[in-house]
């Protein structure tokens, strides 16, 4: 990761607290704690049935016995609340904490929640279309959170934020540079066909959904590209 976002200089304007963002974080943490309480076989069953399995979405292939316990349209929601390990969870929740509050502020809590879920569904479908023959379950909130970052760059591209460059050097940079480097990284790994288990296409699909949907979900008095000018 080129830049790990830590904190932005962007105060709330319309709401006094980011209830939806915090609630989503708490739900993700609670679900992960529950996952960790399960035996290995039970956990595997949860991941395989509540994650998004591409071949089960299209229904064109004879499925293994352990698939199909949840309808694909349900799994396209449940998958985004499951995580593989603590680092997977913490990385996603950090991004949601940094970017979510201001996007929620620009939309309102209810609309933000719907926006988040739709971005997650779009991310899941992008992964499904690009990996249609896969029987590996997709889990994680990163696609939905990519949608939040897409909305953020459309709303506040010039807001400055603290980030860690290459996880080492603290720098204060504009959001468009931090998020732009993240997008470039996703594209690089797609082009180089990196097979490390990361759902790169889900990230791109979620981000694209966020860029498009923000104009529909934002408050009418919240302009696009209306972030604070550089300090």
- Per-residue pLDDT of 121-175, as tens digits, reads 999 999 999 988 888 899 999 999 999 999 999 999 999 999 999 888 999 999 9
The CA–CA distances, whole Å, from 53 to 47, 83, 116, 167, 196 equal 10, 15, 20, 32, 17
Q: Are 141 and 83 in contact (CB under 8 A)?
A: yes
The DSSP secondary-structure symbol of 81 reads G
- Rounded to 5 degrees, what are φ and ψ at 164? -100, 120
Q: Going from the N-terminus, what domains does the chain have, and what CATH number goes with each?
A: 3-217 (1.20.1540.10)
| Cα–Cα distance for residue pair 111/119, rounded to 1 Å | 12
Q: Name residue 169's beta-bridge partners.
A: 165
- Confidence bin at 57 (pLDDT 50/70/90): confident
Produce one character per residue of 191-228: b if its CB has 16 or more CB atoms within 10 Å, e if not: eeeeeeeebbbbbbbbbbbbbebbeebbeeebeeebbe
In whole angstroms, what is the distance from residue 204 CA to residue 174 CA?
A: 21
pTM for the full model? Answer: 0.92
* pLDDT(27) > 50: yes
DSSP 8-state code for residue 80: G
User: Torsion angle of alpha carbons 177, 155, 207, 91, nearest 10°?
Assistant: 70
């Amino acid at each position: 990761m080129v830049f790990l976002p830590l904190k932005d200089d962007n105060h709330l304007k319309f709401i006094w607290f980011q209830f939806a963002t915090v609630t989503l974080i708490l739900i993700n943490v609670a679900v992960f704690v529950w996952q960790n309480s399960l035996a290995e076989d039970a956990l595997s069953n949860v991941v395989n049935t509540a994650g998004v399995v591409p071949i089960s979405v299209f229904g064109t292939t004879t499925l293994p016995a352990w698939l199909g316990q949840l309808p694909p349209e349900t799994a396209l929601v449940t998958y985004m609340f499951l995580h593989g390990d603590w680092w997977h969870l913490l990385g996603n929740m950090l991004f949601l904490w940094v970017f979510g509050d201001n996007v929620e502020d620009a939309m309102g809590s209810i609309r933000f929640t719907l926006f988040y879920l739709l971005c997650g569904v779009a991310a899941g479908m992008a992964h499904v279309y690009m990996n249609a023959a896969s029987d590996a379950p997709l889990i994680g909130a990163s696609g939905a959170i990519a949608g939040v970052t897409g909305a953020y760059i459309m709303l506040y591209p010039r807001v400055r934020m603290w980030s860690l460059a290459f996880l080492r050097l603290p720098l204060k940079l504009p959001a468009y540079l931090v998020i732009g480097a993240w997008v470039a990284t996703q594209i690089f790994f797609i082009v180089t066909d990196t097979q490390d288990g990361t759902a790169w296409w889900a990230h791109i699909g979620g981000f694209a959904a966020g860029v498009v949907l923000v104009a529909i979900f934002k408050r009418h008095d919240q302009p696009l590209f209306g972030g604070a000018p550089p300090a």
